[in-house]
């Protein structure tokens, strides 16, 4: 089994030769499925980003000033976390598939569940207490 990626396939780009150096090319269907999963996470992150921006833009009458800023920054931060997690997970999954290892646990799923729960609790609290 050849372990030298450059010799195995001179067509590969520099970035993928460097970041995905080891193992063999996995089934192309899995590579594309991994890409789609990454994109779904990025859309989730973008939805949080848009939500945070919308809170700051639209909810001036609903939330008083300091709370609104906090909610907005927290929501955008969740989007940030998810997008970083999406990129890292894509890379880890791709590496595992190349080496034939089991796929890593999705750490961003608990992050997302926790963040959604907290966000709803905060909104309910702010609306009820207002």
Residues near another protein (CB under 8 A) are 9, 11-13, 15-16, 19-20, 25, 27-29, 31-36, 38-40, 42-43, 45-47, 49-50, 52-54, 56-58, 69, 72-73, 76-77, 79-80, 83-84, 86-87, 90-91, 94
Residue pair 48/79 in contact by the 8 Å Cβ criterion: yes
- Output 4 or 128, the one with its CB closest to another protein: 4
In whole angstroms, give the CA distance from residue 14 to residue 18.
6
Instruction: Pick between residue 4 and residue 27 the one whose CB is nearest to another protein.
Output: 27
Q: DSSP for 3-69, please give it.
A: --HHHH-TTS-HHHHHHT-SS----HHHHHHHHHHHHHHHHHHHHHHHHHHHHHHHTTTTS-HHHHH
Question: Measured from the CB of residue 30, what is the shortest distance to another protein in angstroms?
Answer: 9
- For the CB of residue 40, give the shortest distance to another protein in the complex, in Å: 7
Nearer to another protein, 40 or 124 (CB): 40
């Amino acid at each position: 089994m050849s372990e030298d990626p450059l010799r195995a396939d001179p067509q590969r780009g520099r970035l993928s030769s460097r970041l995905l150096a080891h193992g063999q090319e996995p089934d192309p269907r899995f590579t594309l499925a991994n890409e789609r999963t990454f994109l779904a996470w990025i859309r989730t992150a973008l939805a949080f980003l848009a939500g945070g921006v919308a809170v700051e833009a639209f909810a001036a009458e609903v939330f008083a000033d300091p709370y609104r800023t906090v909610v907005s920054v927290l929501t955008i931060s969740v989007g940030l976390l998810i997008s970083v997690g999406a990129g890292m997970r894509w890379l880890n999954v791709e590496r595992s598939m190349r080496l034939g290892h089991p796929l890593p646990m999705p750490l961003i799923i608990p992050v997302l569940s926790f963040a959604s729960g907290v966000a709803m609790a905060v909104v309910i609290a702010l609306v009820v207490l207002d």
